[in-house]
Amino acid sequence: MTTPSSPLVPQKPRAGVKDYLIIASIIAFTVATATPALGGIELDFASIAANWRNGANKLLQMLQPNFAFLPRTWLPMLETLQMALVGAVLSALISVPLTLWAAQATNTSAIGRGIIRTIINVVRSVPDLVYATILVAMVGVGALPGILTLFLFNLGIVVKLVSEAIDSTDHPYMEAGRAAGGSQFHINRVSALPEVMPLFANQWLYTLELNVRISAILGIVGAGGIGRLLDERRAFYAYADVSVIILEILLVVIVIEVISNALRKRLV
């Protein structure tokens, strides 16, 4: 009587000399980057120990939020939500055609794809604070430069991520449309859009969450919203008020994330 042979268990691949060299190179580069004598950045950990009392005092103030200041934050927070929503909606409208033009599956013109991708890469390469600083200088302090900054920020994210997602999957319905002699415009309208719309919805909801967080930073350069009030109270060393603003931003982001997750289950 023979016993059944046990299935062969594949052995885990062993790390070779090349893998160890790569790890050692990364560690050596990191150490060199953190060593001023080797031309790296200066990490002054001693200053943290020397100024710990100052940091502890500020942290203690932030642990005692001034909730009496809360009513003053409602209008700036409402402006932040308006900025986040308008920026997300504008980017949603413009991102659909740009994404279809940037993806190889929905645009057979290599020149057209190259132009759109170059524009999107340029838009994505500029930091949002730089956009906000330039736009504040152009149109003045307020919500408008914040909305335009969020629009450009969202546009780069949505077009980049969705176009790459389109190119990474197969599209048999689109191939069937081409085989039937349909034009690229009709194929995109009838087949591509219904297929990729869940991807768009997922990214739009994600950018809406990001906008609330980013708008808090944009206020530093005068782009409106709750961030402007946050920077104002920080400049006056009112850390108890700053703590209230941070808690409010945290609560709003959590609420938006819960709503977004519920919408994703219905739309995606």
75-111 pLDDT, tens digit per residue, is: 999 999 999 999 999 998 999 889 988 888 788 788 9
Listed in sequence order, the residues at least 6 apart from 155 whose beta carbon sits closer than 8 Å to its beta carbon are 91, 94, 95, 98, 120, 123
Residue 7 domain flag: no
Within 8 A by CB and 6+ apart from 245, the residues are: 73, 226, 229, 230, 233
Residues 44 and 104 in one domain: no
Inside any domain, residue 8: no
- The pLDDT confidence band at residue 112, using thresholds 50, 70 and 90, is confident
Burial 57-75 (b: 16+ CB within 10 A, else e): eeeebbeebeeebeeebee
Q: Among candidates 252, 165, 191, 172, which has minimal Cα distance to 216?
A: 252
The count of other CB atoms within 10 Å of the CB of residue 51 is 10
Higher pLDDT: 76 or 36? It is 76
Task: Report the percent of the chain where pLDDT is more than 90.
Answer: 22
Q: Tell me, yes or no, whether 6 lies in a domain.
A: no
Do 96 and 135 fall within a single domain?
Answer: yes
Residues 153, 172 share a domain: yes
Residues 218 and 107 in one domain: yes
Residue 115 — pLDDT band, cuts 50, 70, 90?
very high
Domain final residue pick, 5, 32, 62: 62
Nearest Cα to Cα of residue 84 among 243, 267, 227, 248? 227
Domain-located, residue 11? no
Domain that holds residue 221: 66-265
Which of 29-33, 85-89, 185-189, 196-200 shows the lowest mean pLDDT across its residues?
Answer: 185-189
Task: Return the higher-pLDDT residue of 152 and 2.
Answer: 152
Residue 157 corresponds to which tokens in the numbers above? 């994210």
Nearest to 176 by CA among 163, 192, 199, 162: 192
Using 50, 70 and 90 to split pLDDT, how confident is the model at 1?
very low
Helix residue ranges, H only, 34-142: 45-50, 52-62, 74-102, 110-125, 128-139
Whichever domain contains 234, its CATH number is: 1.10.3720.10
Residues 53 and 93 in one domain: no
- Supply the pLDDT for residue 7: 53
| Claim to verify: residue 147 and residue 210 sit in the same structural domain | yes
Q: Which of 62, 78, 93 is the last residue of a domain?
A: 62
Q: What is the pLDDT of residue 148?
A: 92
- Say if residue 183's pLDDT is above 80: no
- Among residues 39, 62, 85, the one where a domain terminates is 62
pLDDT band at residue 173 under the 50/70/90 scheme? low
For the residues 122-133, what does the mean pLDDT come to? 90
Statement to judge: residues 98 and 200 lie in one domain: yes
- Chain centroid to Cα 145, Å, comes to 18
Report the domain count for the chain: 2
Query: If you write DSSP's letter for every residue of 51-70 in order, what string do you get?
Result: THHHHHHHHHHHTS--GGGG
Residue 196 lies in a domain: yes
Of the pLDDT bands very low, low, confident and very high (cuts 50, 70, 90), residue 165 is: confident
Q: Is 248 domain-assigned?
A: yes
Identify which has the larger pLDDT, 69 or 16.
69
pLDDT of 36 over the 80 cut: no
22 vs 43, higher pLDDT: 22
pTM here?
0.77
Residues 32 and 98 in one domain: no
* Cα separation, 98 vs 121, whole angstroms: 12
Residues 39, 85 within the same domain? no
Residue 121 to residue 97: CA distance in whole angstroms: 16
Least confident of 183-192, 196-205, 232-241, 249-258: 183-192
Is residue 49 situated within a structural domain?
Answer: yes
> Are residues 114 and 42 both part of a single domain?
no
Q: Using CA of residue 34, residue 35, residue 39, residue 44, what is the dihedral sign?
A: positive
Q: Is residue 205 part of a domain?
A: yes
Which candidate, 132, 151, 152, 129, places its Cα nearest to that of 142? 132
**Least trusted range by pLDDT, from 73-87, 142-156, 210-224:** 210-224
Q: Are residues 127 and 46 in the same domain?
A: no
Mean pLDDT of the chain: 82
What is the pLDDT, as a whole number, of residue 12? 56
Residues 53 and 166 in one domain: no
